[in-house]
Structures are given as structure tokens and as C-alpha cells.
Amino acid sequence: MKKVTILLVIIIALFYYASDNQVNAQDGQPNYATADVFVSVATDAVTDNNNLRIAGSNGGSCSTTLVTLVKFSVSEIVDSSVIDTATVSFTVQNTGFAGTPVSLALYEAGDSWGESDLAIIVDPADANSIVGAALNSSLTFNAPPGDASTIQFPTSTQLRDYLRAQADGDDVVSIAVRMTGCPTGTSIIRLEDSEGGISVAPVLTMLNPTAIQLNNTEASDGTNTSFIWLAIALPLFVFMVVLILRRRGQIA
């Protein structure tokens, strides 16, 4: 009877794990932008067409003239998840660099904007600007990136912390991309936007087998983890029933 009790406890535990299993449903899977625009720093004018633009002009120091805003949903990430690695990627449409090096950087942004807005304040010097703290994720180009190439902003502690905070909050991640370093003259980089389709849309990717855990959700890579655990638990359950019935003499 003791062995039967132990087996019963194991089966119950397996069924519980299968029903409330946390799986890495977004591990390495692309999270495409839900909204994206570029904005003039000087006029606050918003443009939502077939590309995103980041530009800067150097008259002694690099002054950002066009800022890109990108929004992602992180509603499927459970609260208090640990995000070990996160990157943000774009597909280059074309560039117009006055020279090199050229540097771009990611910043936090407020969520109170949309693609239909006519004006958004993105000037960091303005108290009403939606552009916030630097996320310490940047890229420096010593040569212009090629057309149709992918540029990827690397992970950082600030970026991971920001993603986790937004996942615990309103489930919306808004990011601003600014030009922080540029040579004399005006430099611009044009990126594909979400209207171009998922093959070129801005992408937020979170990596690591233990990085993101979702409750009661099957892994988006097609691995049905709950099914695997149920497949293990069900034969054990049948075996236990047969064992009990044999002990009672109800079956041979």
C-alpha cells in the first residue's frame, strides 16, 4: 500500500505540473512591432509611411533631427519573469551618411502615442517629451550598413529591466531610437517599418531557456510541453488503477 501511495503522489504531481506548466513560449521567438512612426524633433510632426527614419546633424555636436518610435506588446509575459537577454532588430532600407562613425541608441518612451497622431514631442530638452532614459543599448557604424541588412541593438541591464517593468505594468513596450553620434553634415538611416510585413518589421527578441515563462500556454515553437507530461502521467495512472484492482482481486 505504501508503494501505491507514493505512486499516487507522483501522478498527482505530474498532472498538476501539466495543468499549470510554465513554458518558454517566447524564448527566441520574434515579437513584431505593433506600431511604429518617425517624428521630427523640430516640428513634432509624425510620419507613418513606408519606412522609419533616424537622422542627426553635426554643427559641432550631433543633434538628433528625426527620432523613430516603436511599440511592442509583452502581454503574454507573466509578471515577475526573469529576462536574461533581449535584442531589438531592424531591417535597413537605405542610408545617407555624411561620413562615419555614426551611432544610434535606444531610449525608453512613453506609451501615449499612436500612428494616427499628428504631433509627438520627442525633444529630450522639452519637459513634455515622451523620450525617457537611455537603455544603454547602442550601435556604432564605421561604415554604412548595407541595404536590406539587419541591424541589432544588443542586450543591456537597463533594457532587460525596462522590459520586465513594462511586462509587470501595462504590457506595452515603447522604444525611441535616436542618433547620438554623427560626423559634420546631416546623416540619415531609413529602416523598414511594420507595414512592410513580418519579414522586415522591427523585432523584439528575448532569449534564454529560462528567460520568459508563460502560464498555461503552449510553446510557440510547436513543443506542447503539457502534452508530454500528460503522456507520462496517464500510463502511470492506468498502471496504478490496475495494481489496486489486482490487490482487491477484481481482475486477474
Q: What is the pLDDT of residues 141-185, one digit of tens each?
A: 999 999 999 999 999 999 999 999 998 999 999 999 999 999 999
pLDDT digits (tens, 9 = 90+) for 190-204: 999 999 999 999 999
Give whole-number Cα distances, 220 to 25, 76, 160, 217, 226, in Å: 5, 11, 21, 8, 13
* Total-model pTM: 0.74
Alpha helices in the chain (DSSP H): 2-19, 157-168, 225-248
pLDDT tens digits for 38-53?
999 999 999 998 999 9
CB 71 within 8 A of CB 150: no
Cell of 13: 504531481
Q: Which amino acid is it at 2?
A: K
pLDDT tier at 7, thresholds 50, 70, 90: low
Mean pLDDT of the chain: 83
Q: Are 35 and 68 in contact (CB under 8 A)?
A: no
pLDDT of residue 203: 96
Q: How would residue 75 be classed by pLDDT, with cut points 50, 70 and 90?
A: confident
Per-residue pLDDT for 11 more than 60? Answer: no
